[in-house]
A and B are shown apart, each in its own frame.
Chain A
Amino acid sequence: MIRLNNIKKSYQTGYNHLEVLKGIDLSIQDGDFVSIMGSSGSGKSTLLNILGILDEYDSGDYYLNDVLIKDLTQTDAARYRNQFIGFVFQSFNLLPFKSAWENVALPLYYQKVDRQLRKEMAIEYLANVGLADWADHLPTQLSGGQQQRVAIARSLITKPKIILADEPTGALDSKTSHEVMELFQKVNQEGITVLIVTHENDIAAMTKRIIRLRDGIIESEGLTASAVASR
């Protein structure tokens, strides 16, 4: 599914040369549920951006679904993001002037899906996250947990290969955090690869595999207790 060979990435800030990723080798299989942990500055967000084709890397190879993701034009990058990847963000990133279903349907708009079909699909996906009755509400009329579930429905609607979630529970209380994580588990059980970045141990514990980053390299990698138990 995902294969990273010796990925390096550095930023030039003024006169300082800041090496953020110092050679990442990583492979994630289909249907995996991975959490990336690390303190701030460890490079986990940069890694996620590279995986999401939002950012470029300096050297190494990144294969997504056996396609080499390197030096893409913006248009191609947009197409791959739209086809393969679903994003979930810490601050939900819903468009405030669009209703819940319109937010969910937005990725389909960029696939040029007919509006009526978009609406039907969006409402179906909202129902899957338990928000069928909230389809016509604006994001500001929803609670944080509900907004995040709308965002998850949005990330799923294009039937992506992988969901990339950046601190998806960062803005939620622990009860809603668990509900959201349960939703991710359900999504994962349906066969979709899920990768989340988090710094909370109990959240990471709900995934199958934990990768710890430190100073731009992978410090440790291992199955979680629950994954071992379910074997």
Chain B
Amino acid sequence: MFDRDTWQEILATIQKHKLRTALTALGVFWGIFMLIFVLGMGKGLENSVLRDFGDRAKNVMYVWASRTTQPYKGLQPGRRPRLRLDDIVAIKQNIPEVEYIAPRLSMENIPVYYKDIGDRREIRGELQDMINIEALKLHKGRYINQLDIDESRKVAVLGKRTAEVLFGEEESIGKFVRIGGVEFRVVGIFGPTQVKPWTESDLEAVVIPLPTMYRTYGTGERVDYFVCSSAPNVKVSQIEPKVRALLKQRHKVAPDDPRGIGGFNLQEEFQSIKNVFNGIQAFLWFVGIGTLLAGIVGVSNIMLITVKERTKEIGIRKALGATPSSIVGMVLTESVLITSISGYLGLVVGTLIIGGANYIMVANNIEIDNFYNPQVNLSVGVGAILLLITAGLIAGLIPARQAARVNPVVALKDE
């Protein structure tokens, strides 16, 4: 089938009708191009929305204390349990699915000054892991480390905007700031991975080691809330009830008390948005395949005309001993060739445009709301190629059957 003659014959027919073949090929080209382009753009939309969730937020949960509503073990309702640092050890020991766990204790409206410039800020007491869990990034220097915690050092990591307010253009690392009247050395600058209305506070907060906060400001050894991330491949929605149950038990809260220990995770919201995008993607496939189908019908149509024009040739071949299957093979090969080449071009151009858009956005640091990192999955590409070959076969099917049915007696009749 893949003999040189087969190719030669196909090329001969294609060459004879360059314009017609090109127009036919355009249909398939456009179909595949649209499929790839539209799916890639859809992916860009999806990526931008998922990015707003933050990199790690998908598998992050929050757990905090609130007033109990039920009496338990002789304790009255209305009591607020106090979360402590030793809960961390208990959680780590009992629930191995938890990857990171980070406590936070906040003090609001604390004056933060460098020389005589300053403002009131939120001060956060943390351990070293918060930056591994929440959608935060370090701009400069370092975050809180183990040594800071062990030695209760007076070090501070400034939110990016606070650093700008206090220091302007000046170098801040190593300088001392006064937080609530106490001198702290600046060791780093951090901020949210993405500036959004709900991440403003991360731009302005000042982070100090939690033990330092306990000692310096006499807050008492408590924690506002823990942020936990689940280990890879573990759904955070599975560990949230476990963490809450453990903390309820440790803090003598009735197991069926809906309050006492509160918790929250984004898993379900994330999942529902993911489902929306799966729906959108299915729709885009539907539209793309529809466009492709129109192209296939075009190829099929042209192939029918080609077969009609070649009736005489097919008759000659049959008289010379061509079997119906070899005739079918000839037509199908031509059809698959046209669809594959034009479709492949569509695939390449679509991918180039998507990749180019992404490249330009990354290279020029362009940030567009609702659009980020458009991409074409390998699976989409492979799927498209399989689709093309199938399309070529389908397009050639009817013309090929027509060709096989050519009656040599009629075909060879002179005039």
Which residues of chain A have a CB within 8 Å of any CB of chain B? 49, 52, 54-55, 74-75, 78-79, 81-83, 87, 89-91, 93, 95, 97-98, 102, 106-107, 109-111, 115, 154, 158
Measured CA separation A93–B409 after assembly (Å): 13
Measured CA separation A74–B12 after assembly (Å): 27
Q: Which residues of chain A are near B318, meaning CB under 8 Å?
A: 54, 78, 81
Measured CA separation A87–B3 after assembly (Å): 24
Task: Tell yes or no: B316 within 8 A of A by CB.
Answer: yes
Docked-complex contact A106 and B320, CB < 8 angstroms: yes
Docked-complex contact B325 and A106, CB < 8 angstroms: no
Measured CA separation A107–B322 after assembly (Å): 8
What is the minimal beta-carbon distance from A107 to any residue of chain B, in angstroms?
Answer: 5
Q: Which residues of chain B are near A110, meaning CB under 8 Å?
A: 317, 320-323, 326
Closest 10 pairs (CB-CB, A-B): A82-B321, A97-B12, A110-B321, A78-B323, A107-B320, A75-B323, A74-B324, A54-B408, A93-B316, A55-B409
Task: Tell yes or no: B319 within 8 A of A by CB.
Answer: yes
Q: Which residues of chain A are near B325, meaning CB under 8 Å?
A: 75
Residue tally, chain B, CB below 8 Å to A: 25
Task: Tell yes or no: B294 within 8 A of A by CB.
Answer: no
Using A55-B409, A95-B313, A110-B326 as known contacts, say yes or no to A81 and B320 having CB atoms under 8 A apart: yes
Task: Tell yes or no: B412 within 8 A of A by CB.
Answer: yes
Task: Tell yes or no: B115 within 8 A of A by CB.
Answer: no
Measured CA separation A109–B327 after assembly (Å): 13
Between A and B, 5 residue pairs with Cβ closer than 8 Å are: A89-B414, A93-B312, A93-B412, A110-B322, A115-B3
Docked-complex contact B3 and A109, CB < 8 angstroms: yes
A-B contact sample (6 more), CB < 8 A, given A52-B319, A106-B317, A111-B321:
A74-B323, A78-B318, A78-B324, A81-B318, A97-B9, A98-B12
Q: Which residues of chain A are near B324, meaning CB under 8 Å?
A: 74-75, 78
| Closest Cβ neighbor of A94 among chain B residues | B316
Measured CA separation A91–B408 after assembly (Å): 14
Q: Which residues of chain B are near A90, meaning CB under 8 Å?
A: 414
Docked-complex contact B3 and A79, CB < 8 angstroms: no
Measured CA separation A189–B266 after assembly (Å): 94
Q: Which residues of chain A are near B322, meaning CB under 8 Å?
A: 78, 110
Docked-complex contact B320 and A49, CB < 8 angstroms: no
Docked-complex contact A81 and B319, CB < 8 angstroms: yes
Candidates A55, A75, A91, A154; contact of B320 at CB < 8 Å: A154
Measured CA separation A78–B409 after assembly (Å): 13
Measured CA separation A52–B315 after assembly (Å): 13
Docked-complex contact B12 and A79, CB < 8 angstroms: no
Q: Which among B312, B325, B404, B414 has the highest number of chain A CB atoms within 10 Å? A: B414
Using A102-B5, A109-B3, A115-B3 as known contacts, say yes or no to A97 and B16 having CB atoms under 8 A apart: yes
Measured CA separation A98–B312 after assembly (Å): 15
Q: Which residues of chain A are near B3, meaning CB under 8 Å?
A: 109, 115
Docked-complex contact A107 and B4, CB < 8 angstroms: no
Q: Which residues of chain A are near B323, meaning CB under 8 Å?
A: 74-75, 78-79, 110
Using A106-B320, A110-B320, A110-B321 as known contacts, say yes or no to A115 and B313 having CB atoms under 8 A apart: no
Question: Please, what's the 1-or-0 string for B399-415, where 1 marks a CB less than 8 Å from any CB in chain A?
Answer: 00000100011001010
